[in-house]
Amino acid sequence: MEYALTFEQYQEGLEKGKLLGLHCNTCETFTFPPMGTCRNCNGTDLKVAEAGGEGIISTFTVVRVAPEGKRPPYVVAMAELKEGPSVIGNLIDINPDEADMKLIGKSVKLGSQMVEGDVYSSDDCRVITFSLKEG
C-alpha cells in the first residue's frame, strides 16, 4: 500500500508548524491525523492538505499518576478541529491544578512538541499540543 502522507512527512510538517492531513477526493472529507485511508469512506484517493490549526476542547483529563518517564500533573485534552476530526494532545500553558470544566468549549490553537522516546516507544517524535486562544 502506498501512503499519500508518510509518518516522516507528517512529523516534518509538525516541525515547521504545519498540520498535514488528507483530503479525500471521493467524499471531500478531511482526515487528521493522517492514516492509510479516508476516515469517512475508507477511500484511498487522497491528497495532502493542511489543517487550519484551530479547534474546540470537547473533553479533557488531568493526569496525576503518569506512566513511567512522564512528569505529572499535566492535562490531556481532545479537541474538535474546524475541519471536523477530533484529535488528542497535551493542553500546555495552563496550570493543571486550575483546570476545570470551564475548559470545555474553549478555542485552542494547535502546535507540537518533541517527546523523547521511552520504554513505550523507540524514537523521539513530535506530538500535538493545544494552547488556549485569548478571549
Task: Give 48 or 76: the residue with its C-beta nearer to Zn ion.
Answer: 48
CA distance 81 to 103: 16
Q: How many angstroms separate the first and last alpha carbons of the chain?
A: 45
Q: Is 40 in the site for Zn ion (CB under 5 A)?
A: yes
For residue 39, what are the β-bridge partners? none
Task: Give 38 or 75: the residue with its C-beta nearer to Zn ion.
Answer: 38
C-alpha cell at 98: 486550575
119: closest CA among 81, 78, 66, 77? 66
Size of the site for Zn ion (CB under 5 A): 8
Q: Looking at residue 64, what DSSP letter applies? A: S
Footprint of Zn ion on 5-24 (CB under 5 A): 24
CA distance 57 to 64: 20
Task: Give 11 or 40: the residue with its C-beta nearer to Zn ion.
Answer: 40
Residue span binding Zn ion (CB under 5 A) among the ranges 38-46, 50-58, 61-69, 105-113? 38-46
CA distance 51 to 75: 23
Options 6, 12, 26, 93; binder of Zn ion; rule CB under 5 A: 26
Q: Is 36 in the site for Zn ion (CB under 5 A)?
A: no
Residue span binding Zn ion (CB under 5 A) among the ranges 41-49, 76-84, 90-98, 111-119? 41-49
Task: Give 22 or 108: the residue with its C-beta nearer to Zn ion.
Answer: 22
